[in-house]
Amino acid sequence: MIFELFPRARHAAATPVLLGGMLLAGFSAGGFFNQVLAQDAAYALKGKVVRVADGDTLTLLAGRDRHRVRLASIDAPETGSGRLRPGQPYGQAARKALADLVAGRTLTLKCYEQDRYGRDICDVPLPGGGTANRVMVETGMAWANRQGAGKYLRDETLPGLERQARSRRLGLWRQPDAVAPWDWRWQCWDALENGRQAPIC
């Protein structure tokens, strides 16, 4: 089940947001903030979380503009889609955990860039402090994203939080042989889609 609170809306200009004391102006035709202030904190998105697709992906409604957001620095277990892309253990649990943290909340996200799928890559600060990104890792519901020799890892505290969750056998670390999502996508999904043996599945 995907957590979705509002129906889809047409694009509209989003509201400018202050980040580090600077006003973000400058929008693309689709309503995205496109002014880059710094490599580490490029832009902010403020809106209501209206959909949680999995443990590291959500949709933010800013005005009438919908932004698909990928949580920075983490990778959650895959929920799966169809016969050739089966889900991982704890995929649905991770989605529920993220929904419990953010669904229906109005938040201001700290974003870095868009990926090749058009998703905004963001940290998701929580009202009580910290980020949803960190909570997902420290509770054993996601990995610190070390795919590609760590090139996607912006929050350097996450590997330590992952080690703590693993030592306490929290969440997905209750499994003796938990498979990282980036390995699952290659060794399971890519193998099945290309007719190779996929014992990992």
Domain borders along the chain are: 3-193
pLDDT at 36: 33
Is the pTM here over 0.95, yes or no? no
**Nearest residue to 133 (alpha-carbon basis) of 164, 150, 105, 154:** 154
pLDDT at 40: 67
Alpha-carbon torsion, ordered 66, 67, 68, 71, to 10 deg: -140
- C-alpha 85/C-alpha 182 separation (Å) is 13
CA-CA distances (angstroms) from residue 27 to 10, 34, 199? 16, 6, 47
70, 95, 134, 138: the catalytic one is 70
- For residue 110, the surrounding DSSP H or E stretch is strand 106-114
Active site residue 70: yes
Q: Is the pLDDT of residue 169 over 50?
A: yes
Q: From the CB of residue 37, how many other CB atoms can be counted at a distance below 10 Å?
A: 14
Mean pLDDT of 159-188: 95
Q: Residue 18's pLDDT band (boundaries 50, 70, 90)?
A: very low
pLDDT at 147: 87
Residue reference for tokens 């929920």:
79
pLDDT at 41: 61
- C-alpha 128/C-alpha 11 separation (Å) is 31
Q: Is the pLDDT of residue 54 over 90?
A: yes
pLDDT at 2: 46
51, 66, 95, 119: the catalytic one is 119
Q: Is the pLDDT of residue 171 over 90?
A: yes
pLDDT in tens, 63-74: 999 999 999 999
- C-alpha 74/C-alpha 141 separation (Å) is 10
85, 201 Cβ separation under 8 angstroms: no
Burial grade of 192 (CB within 10 A; 0-12, 13-18, 19 or more): middle
- For residue 98, the surrounding DSSP H or E stretch is helix 91-102
- C-alpha 189/C-alpha 170 separation (Å) is 26
Alpha-carbon torsion, ordered 37, 148, 126, 25, to 10 deg: 20
pLDDT greater at residue 16 or residue 84: 84
**Nearest residue to 76 (alpha-carbon basis) of 157, 185, 163, 167:** 185
> What top-level class would CATH report for the domain 3-193?
mainly beta
pLDDT in tens, 108-149: 999 999 999 999 999 999 999 999 999 999 999 999 999 888
Active site residue 66: no
Q: From the CB of residue 193, how many other CB atoms can be counted at a distance below 10 Å?
A: 11
Q: Is the pLDDT of residue 26 over 80?
A: no
51, 66, 78, 138: the catalytic one is 78
pLDDT greater at residue 101 or residue 29: 101
